Amino acid sequence: MAVLGIETSCDETGVALYDPERGIIAEALASQIALHAAHGGVVPEIASRDHVAKLAPMLKQVLAEADLSWADVELLAYTAGPGLVGALMVGACVGAGVGFGARLPTLGIHHMEAHLLAPQMPAGGPAFPFVALLVSGGHTLLVDAAGVGRYRILGETLDDAAGEAFDKVARLLGLPYPGGPPIAALAESGQADRYALPRPLARSGDLNFSFSGLKTAVRLVVERCRAEDSLERERAHIAASFQAAVVDSLTAKVLAAVEQTDYDAVVMAGGVAANQALRQRLAREAAAAGFQIHYPPMALCTDNGAMVAYTGWRRRADAEEGLPAVIARPRWSLEELKPPGA
């Protein structure tokens, strides 16, 4: 059975074919980073237009690579939300349109569920239940994942996402977008305790996050350094101090979530999960507290079509036959999902 997955919720166009016996049999990914970099963040209209330009050729490319035709595809899964509404509409219209034209069952997929299930795609991936930390440019979520469609949100960000904080601080420091990798690189030559930056919500007693106050604190430090003409010298220390604050905040809430659920596995996904300082710190804490940490391979951590195809397969019981609805839900909580077939 080949499932075709389409991802267009933000700034990556992803298409992939998944076969339960063979795994990912073909995939294509087009990043829009270069298009948005000049603006310091994702511009929704530019994102939608680029998905329109890229998606149809990518569908053809993936089918050709797998040497399949539409008749060989048994299910078409596309990201239906959450995300940028215009970007989602591209995948939803193409998904439903092609599905109808080729007489395929179609299925609208929840983007965060796709991130959450992606680590289970490779052999040896984590089994339910687990705590998931989903940290990307658009989301910061801690989830109690008991099974497919059995999710409870333990905590989320009240303002900026963790990746967004990296991107905004990068901008303050004159680093390119996306900001995570250059901040991490700069932080390597800085002292993490040089600036006492806030750990927002450290004592809130819940599992929520907040990064906007931290960003403001960094801005004040940057302004002070600029006034004192010491910014060039201090940039690495600021990057290191900022990264340490984010790592502390994420780690503290992950530990509290493990304690609260009593689960023995944590799954990380999203672009920020690539951060080495975060990985090293969590590995140390996991060894000390006796739980497992799983990271999907980097290509599955960030947005891609394979996770959507794979989630389509896990949810094939929900596929719609006949005239498909076009579903695009910019806001959509994971907690609204039900187990497949329910």
Chain positions contacting ligand KG4, by CB under 6 A: 10, 136-138, 163-164, 166-167, 178-181, 184, 270-272, 274-275, 302-303
- CA 107 vs. chain centroid, Å, equals 20
For Zn ion, give the closer residue by CB, 161 or 225. Answer: 161
Instruction: Report which DSSP code applies to 71.
Output: G
For ligand KG4, give the closer residue by CB, 75 or 161. Answer: 161
Closest contact distance (angstroms) between CB of 48 and ligand KG4 is 15
The residue whose Cβ lies closest to ligand KG4 is 180
Q: With beta carbons less than 8 A apart as the criterion, state whether 126 and 292 touch.
A: yes
Q: Which of Zn ion, ligand KG4, none lies near 160, with the C-beta cut-off 5 to 8 A by kind?
A: none
For Zn ion, give the closer residue by CB, 68 or 153. Answer: 153
Closest contact distance (angstroms) between CB of 31 and Zn ion is 12
Closest contact distance (angstroms) between CB of 12 and Zn ion is 8
Residues 6+ apart with CB under 8 A from 7: 13, 14, 15, 78, 79, 91, 111, 114, 303, 304, 305, 307, 308
Closest contact distance (angstroms) between CB of 139 and ligand KG4 is 7
Distance CA 89, CA 50 (A): 13
Among 303, 305, 328, 332, binds Zn ion (CB under 5 A): 303
Closest contact distance (angstroms) between CB of 46 and ligand KG4 is 15
Distance CA 321, CA 312 (A): 14
Is 167 among the residues that bind Zn ion (CB under 5 A)? no
For ligand KG4, give the closer residue by CB, 39 or 103. Answer: 39
Biggest CA-to-CA distance, the chain = 67
For ligand KG4, give the closer residue by CB, 247 or 319. Answer: 247
Burial classification of residue 35, based on how many CB atoms lie within 10 Å of its CB (0-12 exposed, 13-18 middle, 19 or more buried): middle
Tokens of 237: 């220390």
Residue 57, classed as helix, strand or coil, is helix
- Interface contacts to Zn ion, rule CB under 5 A: 136, 303
